[in-house]
Amino acid sequence: MNRTIALGTMVLAGALTVVVAAQQQPPQPSVDNLTVEKVKDNLWVIRGGGGNTAVFATAKGLTIVDTKQPGWGQPLLDKIKTISDKPITTVINTHTHYDHVSGNVVIPATVEIIAQERTAKMMPNTTTVTAPGVTEKVFEANGKGLAKKTFKDTMTIGSGADQINLYYFGPAHTGGDAFVEFAALRVMHVGDTFPNKGMPIMDGNNGGSGVQYASTLRKAVAGVRNVDTLINGHTPEQTTPAEMREFADFVSDFVAHVQAAKKAGKTAAQAVAEWKNPEKYKGYSAPNGQRVTTNAQLIMNETK
Ligand SMILES: [Zn+2]
């Protein structure tokens, strides 16, 4: 009996090892490792290979929001062809991170690439950003794939059913986060300002802010009123503005916790050791140690 249990345990342990190994091996760039979901007529989300990509069909052609990790640009273009045979006219990047901009390098030179002005300035330097193990420079010296059209606070592209509104509400995930509203469809791509339900990256090296993060999110919710559906940077499904408001509360609870710890003379590491996601935030992932520590240090540096 004991031998059977021991054997069963060994088999289970072996199976778990295989599962863990499979999870650690990232999917290879391939059109088959991308999935398409139709959000509304004329709007799709392509998941896999980095940040979630939106594909919006207008009368003139396709507008793409975000272009995934290095190596995933061509699979993305191949996947887009399965949705529509219209040409791509416009690419919008929500922010500078490598998992949202790297596919730009395979976009034809005739396509207009748009980003918030600070993101456009940061993009040529996009290298490791916050990704361990990614060391190659995304963009070549020739500037192919960089954003040449920029906006500061707002920009409107097209009109009627094709209208897209771009907004910048202040620093959060980075210092150049764009919100992309598909006005007629009442949908907004919010990039990594609200990537998923868990601790976000507060990328101070690229202009992001911990202290201002929640207020930027609240400005976006209050400032773009006619939206019901959000496309997030990394979730497997869409969310709502109410969920973004809750996420802003989560972020500001964390910031208040870290600021109180600083006032009590504690270090960032001590603040993190004492942080647990408040129970009222249902479905939020457990705190990721390194990310929480980096965020706590940034918040302490920003707090006078
Ligand atoms: Zn990001």
Q: How many CA atoms lie within 13 A of 97 on its CB side?
A: 28
Q: Which residue has the higher pLDDT, 268 or 289?
A: 268
- pLDDT at position 196 is 97
CA of 233 to the centre of ligand 1 (A): 8
User: In terms of C-beta density within 10 A (0-12 exposed, 13-18 middle, 19 or more buried), how is residue 84 classed?
Assistant: middle
Confidence category of residue 3, pLDDT binned at 50, 70, 90:
low
Calculate Rg over the CA atoms of the chain: 21
Please compute the mean of the pLDDT values over residues 257-278 and round it to a whole number.
97
Cα 10 to ligand 1 centroid, rounded to whole Å: 40
| pLDDT band of 133, cuts 50, 70, 90 | low
The three-class DSSP label of residue 230 is strand
Q: Which residues contact 57 (CB under 8 A, 6 or more apart)?
A: 42, 43, 83, 84, 86
Q: How far is the CA of 133 from the centre of ligand 1 (A)?
A: 16
Q: List, for residues 53-86, the tens digit of each pLDDT value.
A: 999 999 999 999 999 998 999 999 999 999 999 9
Write down the pLDDT at residue 136.
Answer: 64
11 CA distance to ligand 1 centroid (A)? 39
CB-CB contact of 105 with 139 (8 Å) = yes
Residue 111, CA distances (Å) to 57, 87, 114 in order: 14, 9, 10
Distance 139 CA to ligand 1 centre (A): 17
Instruction: Tell me, in angstroms, the distance from the centre of ligand 1 to residue 269's CA.
Output: 23
Residue 8 has pLDDT above 80, yes or no: no
Among the ranges given (99-103, 120-124, 138-142, 157-161), the one the predictor scored with the smallest mean pLDDT: 138-142
Q: Treating both helix axes as pointing N-terminal to C-terminal, what angle do 213-223 and 241-263 enclose, rounded to 10 degrees? A: 160
* pLDDT band of 125, cuts 50, 70, 90: confident
Question: Which positions ≥6 away from 71 have C-beta within 8 Å?
Answer: 29, 49, 102
Say yes or no to pLDDT of 293 above 60: yes
Give residue 193's identity as a one-letter amino acid code. Answer: T
| Residue 51 Cα to ligand 1 middle (Å) | 8
d(CA 220, CA 94): 14
Q: How far is the CA of 177 from the centre of ligand 1 (A)?
A: 9
pLDDT tens per residue across span 197-229: 999 999 998 999 999 999 999 999 999 999 999
Q: Give per-residue pLDDT as tens, 30-42.
A: 999 999 999 999 9
Band of pLDDT at residue 127, cut at 50, 70 and 90:
low
CA distance 88 to 79: 13
Please say whether the dihedral angle defined by the alpha carbons of residues 121, 124, 125 and 131, taken in this order, is positive or negative: positive
Q: Quick one: what percent of the chain has pLDDT higher than 70?
A: 89
Going by pLDDT thresholds of 50, 70 and 90, the confidence category of residue 132 is low
- The CA 265 to ligand 1 mean position distance, Å, reads 31
The helix/strand/coil state of 206 is: helix
94 CA → ligand 1 middle, Å: 9
Look at residue 1 in the predicted model and tell me its pLDDT: 43
Quote the pLDDT of residue 72: 95
Which residue type, as a one-letter code, is found at position 141? Answer: A
Q: What is the mean pLDDT of residues 117-126?
A: 91
DSSP β-bridge partners for residue 38: 44
> Pairing mode, if any, of strands 53-57 and 154-157?
unpaired
Q: Ligand 1 mean position to 287 CA, how many Å?
A: 17
Return the residue matching tokens 């088999």.
Answer: 11
Per-residue confidence band for 275, with pLDDT thresholds at 50, 70 and 90? very high
Q: Which distant-in-sequence residues (6+ apart) come within 8 Å of 64 by Cβ?
A: 53, 54, 55, 56, 76, 80, 88, 90, 91, 92
Q: How confident is the model at residue 140 (pLDDT cuts 50, 70, 90)?
A: confident
Say how many Å lie between the CA of residue 160 and the centre of ligand 1: 30
Ligand 1 centroid, distance to 95 Cα (angstroms): 7
End-to-end Cα separation, the chain, in angstroms? 64
**pLDDT score of 56:** 98
Q: In angstroms, what is the span from residue 156 Cα to ligand 1's centroid?
A: 23
How many angstroms separate the alpha carbon of residue 173 from the centre of ligand 1? 7
228 DSSP assignment = -
Measured CA to CA in angstroms, residue 258 lies from 42, 181, 202, 250, 268 at distances of: 43, 33, 14, 13, 7
What residues are neighbours of ligand 1 (ion), with CB under 5 Å?
97, 192
In the reported structure, the alpha carbon of residue 60 is separated from the centroid of ligand 1 by a whole-number distance in angstroms of 29
Averaged pLDDT score across all residues of the chain: 91
How far lies 286's CA from each of 25, 250, 276, in Å? 22, 13, 8
pLDDT at 253 over 50: yes
CA distance 89 to 107: 10
Residue 16's pLDDT band (cuts 50, 70, 90): very low
Q: What is the pTM of this model?
A: 0.90
